Structure 1
Amino acid sequence: MKVFIYYGGLNGFRDIISDDNYMHIIDLVIQDDEKRRNIKVDIEGREIEQIEETLHYETVVAFSDDYASLTESFIESFSNFAFRYNIDNLYLHNPPDSITKRMKQYIKNDCYIQEQKYNILGIEELKAIKAGFPNKIIGQIIAQRQILSTLYNVAKGRFDKPCVMLFYGNTGVGKTETAKYIADVLGQPLFRKQFSMLHSNEFGSYIFGGKHSQNSLAKELVERESNVVLFDEFDKPNPVFYSAFYQLFDEGVLVDKNYTVKMKNSIIICTSNFMSEKEIKEKLGEPIFFRFDAVIRFDSLSKDSVEEIMHVEYQKQYNALEDDEKQIIDNSDIMNKLFSLTNSLKNARQIKRIIKEALSAVIINNFL
């Protein structure tokens, strides 16, 4: 048996599977379970010994989500299960550490481990980020300069750990959009986790790992397709959990009960709605504060920035309309009314919502 273990996203795993006509591990488990339930006994109730044929499979595949369907005892005895069959090639996608350890122990020379190769920021990518920054993220010139300065050392290969930045400031001023933009330039989908969605009791098992069937941050990071990671609303968890990030921010390693993830060359961006560095230190604590490679303030939007964002967003939403809808908008005075609200609008999310509601209202009123 040859065992191929792949840590990374689903697309990369599918690329290494050599045979499209494979046996899915879940189907094999179901088949195995049915066979073991079919026990024959004699008239006195004794089990009749049956000679079982060792079934042969050229390729068996286990995907990352499959392990959650298996019991804890099955995970622990996974290697015993695999050796009950004559399998030529066994492909395992992001298996828990316990499975990898045992397969390496028993297979040795025929156990191959591969990790996904992520796009890494270089000087050319940094130049592309700089060139597009003013048009993509409006009104954050100082923040853009600080980000470029921090990423320059990443592009030059001077980091032997993840580059970890904390963006802070009001909501809707470009923090999350900046993370998306950096990922876009690197040609990867942003890995985003919104910490406000997790309550304290959920956050503990999510960070430190629980049962292998439960989701965890380490498992999700192992499965990621991108080397740009966003921890949105990093200020929301209870501060007692921040110790879990020390090794990740220092060395690029996160270990929980089931998974180990390595992120040495990644860019980790944390966002918060804090308004000062003093507040950050008080709420998050100095141990985590001083592990950030850059703490960058995003300013509140000026009137000029609000107007520029309104122009961009209005044109974007207008262009998405059908021709008859555009005609309705052209015959209305809605654009002037919208731009008269400039002084009352504070962030990009609010602007997007107001424009969408206004255009829809004009169109609906015309039709009805």
Structure 2
Amino acid sequence: MNNREYYIYTGSKEYFSSQLPEFSESEYTKSFLEIIKESDEYKTRGIPFNNTADNLILYNDNYNGITEQAHDRIGALIEEVTNDDSKIYIHNPPITLKNYLKSLEFNLGVHIDYFCQKYEFDRDEELFQSNMKNIEKNIIGQNNAIIEVSKSMWYLTKVRRKKPYVIMLYGNSSLGKTELVREISTHFYKGNFFERHLSMFKNETYSDYFFGDKPNRKTLGYDLLERKSNLIFLDELDKCPEHFYSAFYTFFDNTIFKDASYEVDVSDTLIILTSNYHDEKEMITKLGLPIYYRIDKFIPFTDFNSEIIYQVTKKEINDKKEEYKDFLTEEEVYREVSTRINSTGENARTIKQKVQQSIEQLLFSKINTH
């Protein structure tokens, strides 16, 4: 009779590991891949496998270590390598395994418990203003964007949404979009966020990742299950090929994101997109209305004027002070940088490069004075 106990955990690897009990030395405890390989060796040699586990642990990356055919009978595989009264600890099961577990719920001898990681979000209203002031201090020259983000973060502090809340930060590169996401992560999500650079997914060979067609490979659903935070950052949406857009339709518009291999609860998430589009009209043209209408808010980032270029330059010089303070003063560095910096057309990246070049030039020129 099947009297197995199943403990199902959804969340990051750290969360799963922290929930596992301490096993005594007398308990025979194995990881799934470890015991499957051992079982296969016995079968190859024609020897019956009786070395079944008292405790079986299935980490989520174990699913990538078996063949596609094995995924179809993963429930049966678990039974083959465990005892009737074994305890089985499962991390982020794929859909095939979830369906198998559902079928066991009608079995009176089987015990199944489900656990889910709770994602932290700082809803402390008293700290809200100081958090936003710290963000404003570190993101220079984007006051309007900070105001709009403040409205969104206050809204999320007060309510609990079901569907994801989706923000698009748009404008030219190196104006502070990515830095703003990192600041939001620091002040509201304990420094944790899920990040994917969509420009890396260049062609159809990545369709398995977005749609989960291969159950023994990592997918977007697999990675989302393993996230440590409900802040999701998708960088450079404008550089993602169009044939992946359909994956985002359900992602942005539902509480459950589902690919062919995994399903994920994405309720109460904040999804921040970035792009180099110049206005919403361009976004409608390039992205199409299905994605455009699924984005809750559009926040533009403006190019730096001369005053902002000056402020960003001074901040960069100050931020690098620890590197050069024994040899140079901030005034020396600024004098050198001012010969390289333009009053228009600069961004954070070009300013950073020119400050670096100036420091190197000044240090190198001191060779001749010794």
Residue of 81, 90, 98 corresponding to 2:77: 81
Q: Structure 2 vs 1, CA of residues 101 and 304 (structure 1 numbering), >3 Å: closer, same or farther?
A: same
**C-alpha separation in 2, matches of 1:163 and 1:128:** 23
State whether structure 2 residue 99 is matched by structure 1 residue 98: no
Paired residue for 2:30, among 7, 23, 30?
Answer: 23
Q: Which consecutive residues of structure 1, in runs of 5 or more, have no partner in the other structure?
A: 40-49
Q: How far, CA to CA, are the matches of 2:176 and 2:205 in structure 1?
A: 29
Does the CA-based 8 Å contact 2:12-2:228 persist in structure 1?
yes
Q: How many residues align?
A: 353
Partner of 1:63: 59
Q: How does 1:25-64 map to 2 (within 5 A)?
A: 25-39=32-46, 52=48, 54-64=50-60
**What is the aligned partner in structure 2 of residue 115 from structure 1?**
116
Deviations 1:18-43 (A, max 9, x none): 0367422221111111111112xxxx
Q: State the distance in 1 between where 2:18 and 2:351 align.
A: 42
Whole-angstrom distance in 2 between the partners of 1:363 and 1:89: 64
Task: Summarize the Cα distance change of 1:356–1:210 in structure 2 as closer, same or farther, 3 Å threshold.
Answer: farther
Contact (CA 8 Å) 2:175, 2:304: kept in 1 or not?
yes
Which SS does the other structure have where 1:328 is aligned? coil
Q: What's the C-alpha RMSD, in Å, of the aligned pairs? A: 2.3
Contact 1:206 1:215 in 2 (8 A): yes
Cα shift readout 1:53-94 (whole Å, capped 9, x = no counterpart): 733433221212221111112122122222122263211112
Q: Which runs of 4+ in 1 moved over 6 A?
A: none
**Secondary structure in structure 2 of the residue aligned to 1:213:** coil
Structure 1 residues 300, 33: CA separation in 2 closer, same or farther (over 3 Å shift)?
Answer: same
State the alpha-carbon separation in 2 of the partners of residues 178 and 331 from structure 1. Answer: 26
Question: What letter is aligned with 1:251?
Answer: N
- TM value normalised by structure 2: 0.88
Unpaired runs of 5+ in structure 2? Answer: none
Cα distance, 1:283 vs structure 2: 0.8
Shift of 1:143: 0.9
Deviation at 1:152, TM superposition (A): 2.3
Residue of structure 2 equivalent to 1:166: 168
In the alignment, the residues of structure 2 paired with residue 366 and residue 252 of structure 1 have an alpha-carbon distance, to the nearest angstrom, of 61
Shift of 1:233: 0.4
Residue 329 of structure 1 aligns to a residue whose secondary structure is: coil
Structure 1 pair 235/331, CA: closer, same or farther in 2 (3 Å)? Answer: closer
Evaluate the alpha carbon distance shift between residue 188 and residue 230 of structure 1 in structure 2; reply closer, same or farther with a 3 A threshold: same
Counterpart residue type for residue 119 of structure 1: E
Contact in 1 for aligned 2:305/2:343 (Cα 8 Å): no
The secondary structure found in structure 2 opposite 1:54 is coil
Residue 265 of structure 1 corresponds to which residue in structure 2? Answer: 268
Contact 1:19–1:59 at 8 Å: present in 2 too? no
C-alpha separation in 2, matches of 1:61 and 1:353? 49
Q: Distance in 2 between matches of 1:162 and 1:153?
A: 13
Alpha-carbon distance in structure 2 between the residues aligned to 1:238 and 1:13? 34
TM-score by length of 1: 0.88
CA pair 354-202 structure 1, distance change in 2 beyond 3 A: farther
SS at 1:83 equivalent: helix
